[in-house]
Structure 1
C-alpha cells in the first residue's frame, strides 16, 4: 500500500527505531509472497475437478489449507505474465 511509504511514517520509524532499516519490495513480487505459492498449489490441486456442490469444494479447501493435506513445492519460482502467474 502506498501509505506505507509516506514520508511521515518513514521519519517516525527512523526517529523512534533507529536500529530498523526498511527495505521495500517491488510492486509485484510473487516470489517473496509465500501466499502466492500456497494459492498456486491449491488451484493446481483442484483444477479440472468437478464438484457435486459448493460444500464439497469448501470441504476440500478446508482439508488442503487447514488440515495439512496440501503439498507445497516451496522451491518453485513464480513469474507474472499479465494477470497470469506461471511457475517455473
Structure 2
C-alpha cells in the first residue's frame, strides 16, 4: 500500500473551544482561502441565527481575530489582499515565528495524534473519518490545562 498524504487545516475558537477542521488535499493559498471562506460563512450564519440580518454582517457584525502560525500559505500577499476585501470582519494576526506552544490548535492536534498514532488504517478514508469524528464531532477530549513542551518552552492553554 502506498503512502497517501492529506492536510488538516483547523482552528479552535477561544471563547467556547469550538473546533473548526477541514481536510484539504494540498496546503496551498487557495485551499487556505477556501477554508476561510467556509469559516466566514459559518460565522455569518451563526450571527444571523441570533436574529441579526445577515446582509448587515460586514457593517454591524463582530470583528473576528484569527491567530495564525507563519506557514507560507497564510502569508501570501495576494491571498491576504483578497481576504481583506472579501472578509472585512476578519483580523489576521500572526504568532511569533517558531512558537507552536502558543497555538491552541496545536494542543488539540497533539491530543488527536496521541489517539491515532500507532494504528493501522485500511484506507485514507478510514483515517479521515476518525480524525473528523475526533475533531469535528467532539469525540476528542482535550486537556486544556496540559503543557506542551517544544524547544524548551512550555505554556498552559486555558
Same fold by TM-score, threshold 0.5 exceeded? yes
Instruction: Report which of the two structures shows the higher radius of gyration computed on alpha carbons.
Output: 1
CA contact (8 A) 2:133 2:139 kept: yes
- SS at 1:71 equivalent: coil
Could you tell me the TM-score, scaled by structure 2's length? 0.34
Which of 69, 73, 77 is residue 143 of structure 2 equivalent to?
A: 73
Q: 1:25 to 1:62 in 2, by over 3 A?
A: closer
Which of 54, 59, 66 is residue 124 of structure 2 equivalent to?
A: 54
Unaligned runs of 5+ in 1: 5-23
Deviating beyond 3 angstroms after TM superposition, the runs of 4 or more aligned structure 1 residues are none
CA contact (8 A) 2:112 2:134 kept: yes
Q: 1:53 to 1:29 in 2, by over 3 A?
A: same
Higher relative contact order (CA 8 A, sep 6+): 1
CA contact (8 A) 1:30 1:78 kept: no
| Alpha-carbon shift at residue 27 of structure 1 (Å) | 2.6
CA contact (8 A) 1:41 1:72 kept: yes
Pick the structure with more helix per residue. Answer: 1
CA-to-partner distance for each residue in 1:13-65, whole Å, 9 max, x for gaps? Answer: xxxxxxxxxxx854333332101101101111100111111111011011011
Could you tell me the TM-score, scaled by structure 1's length? 0.58
After the TM superposition, which residues 1-88 of structure 1 pair with which residues of structure 2 at under 5 Å, given as runs?
A: 26-81=96-151
Alpha-carbon RMSD across the aligned residues, in angstroms, is 2.6
Aligned residues: 62
